Every structure is written in structure tokens, then in C-alpha cells.
Amino acid sequence: MSYHYVHIEDPQTLTLQEGDDLSCAADEVVIDVSFAGINRADVLQRMGFYPPPPDASPVMGLEVSGVIRQAGADSGFTRGESVCALVHGGGYATQTIAKAACTLRIPPGIDMKMAACLPEAFLTVWYNVIVRAGLKTGETLLVHGGVSGIGNIAVQLAKSMDCRVIATAGSPEKCQLLDSIGADISLNYKETALAAQCEAHGVMGAVDVVLDMVGGDFEQFNLECLAVDGRIACIGLMRGGQATIDLTQLLMKRATLSGSTLRRLTPQEKARCFSEVNEQMMPLVATGRMTPLMDKTFALNEALAAQDYMASGTHAGKLLLRCN
Ligand SMILES: NC(=O)c1ccc[n+]([C@@H]2O[C@H](COP(=O)([O-])OP(=O)(O)OC[C@H]3O[C@@H](n4cnc5c(N)ncnc54)[C@H](OP(=O)(O)O)[C@@H]3O)[C@@H](O)[C@H]2O)c1
């Protein structure tokens, strides 16, 4: 099987290029990619707004599922194993390289398509909601973008912890989808103001953790909906990177506002989180207690159409590329 990858000619032109088979270092694996997950960061990279770090592959794609074609001597994996992995770029391809520490065996009960939905969402949700924001059993979590590839995993993880979950979405149909994955309160952010909706549900000032991928003009609401000692974990800026907030609220609520991007985590931090995710989150999917929402799958040479579909915002759940 030869190596093909998606090359960015310019922001509106992606071509399929051919290269030599990949080979990996001792602590890495080469994967024959079955499916690659599509992420917002890929769209930003294509547009030239999110250049990959110098040590990353220039090829788009941050997560894959597939079969190991070469296992590095110290990787702990063997050729032929089914895995999913977070990759340092290079996922939009027929082969890719992953650090063994960021590679997970796919347990029975999870197919290749589903497995490709997991690495980025699992790590983002675990790191931000559990490690940074410290969500505990029985607390209340508010998730913006609840039916997004990231958001639906956060909703389902929190429900598995017996938390109360409030989630936002931009249409009645998406709110129904939120209900179907277990959200206790679904809010259409395009209807009435979120604060008024939370007041009506009696949850204003009762939220322990906000998983925020929107920022902008919703940041003040995020602060206002928090309980005392509440935590906001900011992972995205779909409503913009500038916000005016009343810092008095931050003080009075002893609130914590944090932010992160996965790409900035050290390999050690990623490895630690991956091991926790493997233990705590993978079994939820393998036993059917969590089912990632999936939307469409595109062919590898349809990457531009797939990204345009993501940018349109009409999708719900994960978008994938079929790579082999
Ligand atoms: N920091 C990190 O480490 C990290 C890692 C992964 C992803 N992310 C970020 O997480 C976000 C979700 O990623 P994804 O791959 O799951 O993307 P996605 O499926 O396209 O989700 C985007 C979500 O944002 C919501 N949204 C878009 N515009 C909005 C607006 N103006 N107001 C309110 N909500 C809006 C959408 O809700 P509706 O469709 O219901 O309108 C949708 O659910 C992205 O911003 C991405 O950059 C961050």
C-alpha cells in the first residue's frame, strides 16, 4: 500500500500527493490509516491561521484509527494491531506516524469508524473537564456546542459520572439530539438569551464547570451562571477571542477561568492523560455506555468538501475521512 496524503496547495485547493512509505522511531508506530477525524484546527490550518508547530507534520489531521504496519522497537505494539491515535499532524493520509504513548488499542465493541472519533475528543474533554476544571460526581456541567465532536463526549462523560448536564446548541433538532444523549437541560442559544433560559430552569448560579468552546460575548454569561468556586475551561473561540467580563463576578464567586490547547501539551502530559483516558473513558464506549455522535464520512480526496461542511455548521457530531 503506497503513501498518499492531502497537500495544501492554497486555502481553496487540496491535492492528493504520493510519497515514500513512512518509517518510525523506536518509540513510535506507523499506522495504515482507516479513518481520520476532522477537526476545526484542520480548517484553520488550511486557511493559514494555525500553522503547525515546527516539529509537526505539515499534513493536516490530528487523529486516526487504523492498523499498525510498523511498530518501533520500544513502542510496546506489534504489527497488525488495531489502534487509534492522536498524531502530531499527518492524519489526512493513507499512513501516519504516532507516538506509542498517544496510541490506544481498540477494544472489542468499537469499530474503526467509531475509534477515529475518540482521540482528540477524549483527550480534550478529559484534560479540560477532569484534570483542569476538576468536575466531580454529582456536580453541574454546562457544555457549549453540546452536539459538536467534542461537546457530545463531554455531555456523555459527565452523565456517566452522575452529573447534571446543561448543554447549548443552535437549533431545535440539535437540542433534541442533546436530549437523546442524556443532557438534562438543552438550551437553544439562537432563541432566548441563555441567562433567561437558565433562570427559567432554576440553574442560574448553580453551574460548577463550564466547558467553553465559544468565548466572545458568551463569556459574561459563563461567569454569571457559575456557582461559588465554579470553573470555566475555555477550549475554543467560536464567538470570538475578545470578551468584556465583570471581574467582580470572578472575585465574588472565587471562580477560575482557564484555557488550553492540546497542541501545547508536552509529550509527557499527553502520555499521562492518554493512559487515564484508556482506563476511564475507553470502557464507556466499549460497553455501549457512551456512543460518539457521528455525522458524515468523506473520501480522502474530498477533504475540502468535508471541511467546508464543517465550516457550514450544519453537522452534528464527528466528521471523518475514509483513508484506505
Ligand atoms: N483547545 C483544545 O485543545 C481543543 C481541542 C479540540 C477542539 N477544540 C475546539 O473545540 C471546538 C469544537 O471542536 P469540534 O471539532 O467538536 O467542532 P465542531 O463539531 O464543528 O463544533 C463546533 C461547535 O461550536 C458551536 N458553535 C459554533 N458557532 C457558534 C456560535 N456562534 N455560538 C455558539 N456556539 C457555536 C456549534 O454549535 P451548533 O452547531 O449547535 O450551532 C458546534 O457545536 C472548536 O472550537 C475547536 O477549535 C479545542
pTM for the structure as a whole: 0.97
Largest Cα span, the chain: 60
From 194, 213, 258, the mutation candidate for ligand 1 (largest count of ligand atoms within 8 A of CB) is 213
Rg (CA), the chain: 19
- pLDDT class of 203 with cuts at 50, 70, 90: very high
324 touches ligand 1 (CB under 6 Å)? no
**How many residues would you count in the chain?**
324
Average per-residue pLDDT for the chain:
97
Give the number of other Cβ atoms within 10 Å of residue 224's Cβ: 17
- Decide if pLDDT at 143 tops 60: yes
- How remote is the CA of residue 185 from the centroid of ligand 1, in Å? 19
Query: Measured from the CA of 239, which atom of ligand 1 is nearest?
Result: 31
150 touches ligand 1 (CB under 6 Å)? yes
Give residue-wise pLDDT tens across range 55-94.
999 999 999 999 999 999 999 999 999 999 999 999 999 9
Please tell me the predicted confidence (pLDDT) of residue 142.
Answer: 98
Question: Which domains are present in the chain?
Answer: 3-118+292-322 (3.90.180.10), 122-261 (3.40.50.720)
Please tell me the predicted confidence (pLDDT) of residue 263.
Answer: 86
- Decide if pLDDT at 127 tops 90: yes
Q: To the nearest whole percent, how much of the chain has pLDDT over 90?
A: 97
- Decide if pLDDT at 1 tops 70: no
Q: Give the 3-state secondary structure of residue 86.
A: strand
- How remote is the CA of residue 250 from the centroid of ligand 1, in Å? 24
313 touches ligand 1 (CB under 6 Å)? yes
**Which residue has the CA at smallest separation from atom 48 of ligand 1?**
235
E-strand spans in 20-106?
28-37, 63-71, 82-86, 95-99, 103-105
- The CA distances from residue 65 to 41, 70, 149, 161, in Å, are 18, 15, 16, 27
152 touches ligand 1 (CB under 6 Å)? no
Residue with cell 455506555: 289
Contact 270, 101 (CB under 8 A): yes
From 123, 148, 277, the mutation candidate for ligand 1 (largest count of ligand atoms within 8 A of CB) is 148
Give residue-wise pLDDT tens across range 262-308.
988 998 999 999 999 999 999 999 999 999 999 999 999 999 999 99
- How remote is the CA of residue 44 from the centroid of ligand 1, in Å? 12
